[in-house]
Amino acid sequence: MAPFSDDFDAIAERDRCDYTTRVTYKMAKSGRVSRPIRVYADGIYDLFHQGHARQLLQAKNVFPNVYLIVGVCSDELTHKRKGRTVMTDLERYEAVRHCRYVDEVVRDAPWELDDEFLEKHKIDFVAHDEIPYGTEDCQDVYAGLKAKGMFVATERTEGVSTSDIVARIVRDYDIYVRRNLARGYSAKELNVSFLNEKKFRLQNKMDELKDKGKKVMENIGEKKVDMIQKWEEKSRDFIDAFLLLFGREGRLSHIWNEGKGRLMQALSPPGSPREGSPTSSTGNDKDEGVSPPPPKAGRYDFSPGSTNHAATSSSLTDDYSDDEDERQSK
C-alpha cells in the first residue's frame, strides 16, 4: 500500500526530488527527465469504484515515468463543500492507498490548490478531467494550473459514479434493508421502524420458501430422466405380461371364445320347422349330416313325434272311451 505524505518513505522520496528545475510538458513526454515526474490527482473517492481506478490509471500513465500523489479531502471539508459521504474520510484514505497505481496519499487535501501546496509536495502536474470544476468563488478551480501549463487531462468513465451507486441503493432501499436484516443487523442500526422491520422479515421468509420450492423443482428435474427410464422398463414388463394373457394366441382369448359360443347357443331359441325344410320331421337333415338338437318336450307340446303328446293323447282317448261306455250302459 502507498504511504501517507507524512510517512518516512514519502518524505524520503520528496527529499530526493530536485524541484529547482521546472519540468515542462514536452520534457515530461520525452521521458528524458532524470527523476520521476510528480503528478497530483485529487478527489473525494467515496465508494471507491472502477471509475476512480481508471482515472488514477490514466494519471499514472500520462508520462513515461510518473510518481503519482493522490489527495483525498476530509469529511469536514467534503460535507461543507459537496455534501454527505457514505464512507468516512479514514475509510476513503485507506481505499485509495490500496490502489496499485497510487504512490503516495495526501490526507485532508485542500479544495483549491495554491502555490504553497504545490511547492510543499513538489508537484509538477495536476491531473483531472477537463470539465470546469466551479465553486462559489470561481468557475474553475483548475483554471490557474491550465494557464501555467501544469494541467493534464484525464477522461471520466461514463455510466459509473458515486452518485449513481447511491441512487441505486436508494431506489432498491427495501431490498438492501431486508438483506442487512437477514445478515443480523438490528432495526435500530438500520433506522427502521418496528412495523417495517416485521414487514421486511416476513418478506424474507417468503423469499426463503420460494427458494426452497425452486430447489425442490430443480432436484425433481434432475431426477426425472431416471424416473422416466424406470417407468419405461416397468411399462415394458407390464405390456409383455398383458400380451401373454390377452394377446391373439393368449389363453384367455381361447376361454373367451369358447364361453361366448356356449352363451350364444343357450340364449338363442330353436327355430320352428317348416314343410319341405331340411329340418322338418322327415328327418332328412342335409346340413353336413349334423342333426339339430331335439326340441324340449313340454306339457302342451303337440309337435309330431313328441312322447308327451302320445302320452297325453292316450290319456285323453282313455277318458273319452270311459264316458262312452257309461252313456251306453245308461
> Model confidence over 57-89: pLDDT tens digits?
999 999 999 999 999 999 999 999 889 999 999
Domain boundaries, the chain: 8-160, 172-243
Q: What are the grid coordinates assigned to 68, written together?
A: 503519482
Is 70 exceeded by the pLDDT of residue 145?
A: yes
Question: Among 73-77, 200-204, 276-280, 298-302, which range has the highest average pLDDT?
Answer: 73-77
Mean pLDDT value across residues 304-324: 46
Reading phi first (left if > 0) and then psi (alpha if -120 to 50, else beta), residue 226 is in alpha
Is 70 exceeded by the pLDDT of residue 254?
A: no
CA distance 293 to 266: 12
Indicate the helix (H) or strand (E) that contains 312.
Answer: helix 307-329
pLDDT of residue 249: 54
Count CB atoms within 10 A of the CB of residue 259: 10
Q: Worst-scoring range by mean pLDDT, 144-148, 215-219, 238-242, 298-302?
A: 298-302
Higher-pLDDT residue of 255, 79 = 79
Higher-pLDDT residue of 62, 290 = 62
The pLDDT confidence band at residue 286, using thresholds 50, 70 and 90, is very low
The amino acid at residue 11 is I
pLDDT of residue 137: 75
Higher-pLDDT residue of 264, 89 = 89
* 220 class by beta-carbon count within 10 Å (0-12 exposed, 13-18 middle, 19+ buried): exposed
Mean pLDDT value across residues 151-163: 90
Please tell me the pTM assigned to this model: 0.60
Mean pLDDT value across residues 289-314: 48
The pLDDT confidence band at residue 46, using thresholds 50, 70 and 90, is very high
pLDDT of residue 128: 94
3-state secondary structure of 281: coil
DSSP letter at 27 equals H
Mean pLDDT value across residues 15-29: 93
Give bridge partners of residue 40 from the DSSP assignment.
69, 126
The pLDDT confidence band at residue 227, using thresholds 50, 70 and 90, is low
Give bridge partners of residue 66 from the DSSP assignment.
37
Report the CATH architecture of 8-160. Answer: 3-Layer(aba) Sandwich (3.40)
Residues of the chain with pLDDT > 70, as a percent, come to 65
Q: What are the grid coordinates assigned to 223, written together?
A: 431426477
CA distance 67 to 104: 8
Q: What are the grid coordinates assigned to 312, written together?
A: 297325453
Average pLDDT, the chain: 78
Mean pLDDT value across residues 117-135: 91
